[in-house]
Amino acid sequence: EAHVVYNFTLAPLIVWSLIAGHAQALTSWLGRLESPPPGCTFLNFIASHDGLGLRPIEDLISPAELQPMIDAAVIAGGVFSEYSAPGGPRPYELNVSLADLLAGSDGATAGRFVAAHAVMLAVQGIPALYVHSMLVSPGEVDAVAASGDNRAINRGQVTVDQANSRLASGWRADVFREITGLIRLRRRLPAFAPEAAQTIHVLDNRVVAIERRTTSDMVFAVHNVSDQAVTVTVPDGFGLHDLLTDRRVDQELTLGPWQAAWLV
């Protein structure tokens, strides 16, 4: 009945993986995810005008494992809502600027914010990027207090002059260039077409490794979701040219904190 299906589980699972610093839950879930039927695809996103829904990952992440993400959102100026369940209140939605949550107000962990987009752009489907993530917008904390609406935190209005000023220099400008660079590169690669096949590889519990393939093109996209350097072995049969750095890499590939490599 639909040609495009919202992939609601992907957003909180990517964000949680980057905060937790390990990818086992995300890799396992992606490995079980069946491709939509011909003519259909997923719409992938990690931020929107609404909050970050938590119910899609209730069966994947325990309450104890989820709590650090909630705490991080509150520290970043965000808020969260709950719903009533038989065992007591359970988290329903996080409302926070994704840039504040993953990059920090000073950009100290900006690589983590970029990494979230790199993973999302590699997953099978159509990527949808929220304008405030593209603009690396901080949260509108005052708007929440003024309106009483938690979702107002991620719905600020930005003029062209404000956007140009924000992205003229500094870490937000660097992040904008990195994300738009990923988008431009992705557009050139047939293996990232929505209908291209997807296979998930398990290389390390801190790494999301996604093979995308058509009959004539292939990309092996490898992403470190942790704040530590990780060395993995690229499986035989995959190219060793990293499109993100335009360099040849070793089969024993070392990824820096939150680093990605798209290999051909």
- C-alpha span between 74 and 96 (Å, rounded): 8
State which residues form the domain around 184: 4-189
- C-alpha span between 144 and 153 (Å, rounded): 6
In a domain, 216, yes or no: no
3-state secondary structure string across 152-173: HHHCCCCCHHHHHHHCCCHHHH
In a domain, 174, yes or no: yes
In a domain, 98, yes or no: yes
Tokens standing for residue 5: 């299906």
CATH number of the domain that residue 14 is part of: 3.20.20.80
Per the confidence metrics, is the pTM higher than 0.85?
yes
In a domain, 219, yes or no: no
Say if strands 41-44 and 4-6 run parallel, antiparallel, or are unpaired. Answer: parallel
In a domain, 244, yes or no: no
Domain count, the chain: 1
In a domain, 222, yes or no: no
- C-alpha span between 117 and 47 (Å, rounded): 10
- For the four alpha carbons of 232, 236, 240 and 242, in that order, the dihedral sign comes to negative
- Around Cβ 82, how many Cβ atoms within 10 Å? 12
In a domain, 96, yes or no: yes
In a domain, 35, yes or no: yes
pLDDT tens across the length of the chain (264 residues): 689 999 999 999 999 999 999 999 999 999 999 999 999 999 999 999 999 999 999 999 999 999 999 999 999 999 999 999 898 899 999 999 999 999 999 999 999 999 999 999 999 999 999 999 999 999 999 999 899 999 999 999 999 999 999 999 999 999 999 999 999 999 999 999 999 999 999 999 999 999 999 999 999 999 999 999 999 999 999 999 999 999 999 999 999 999 999 999
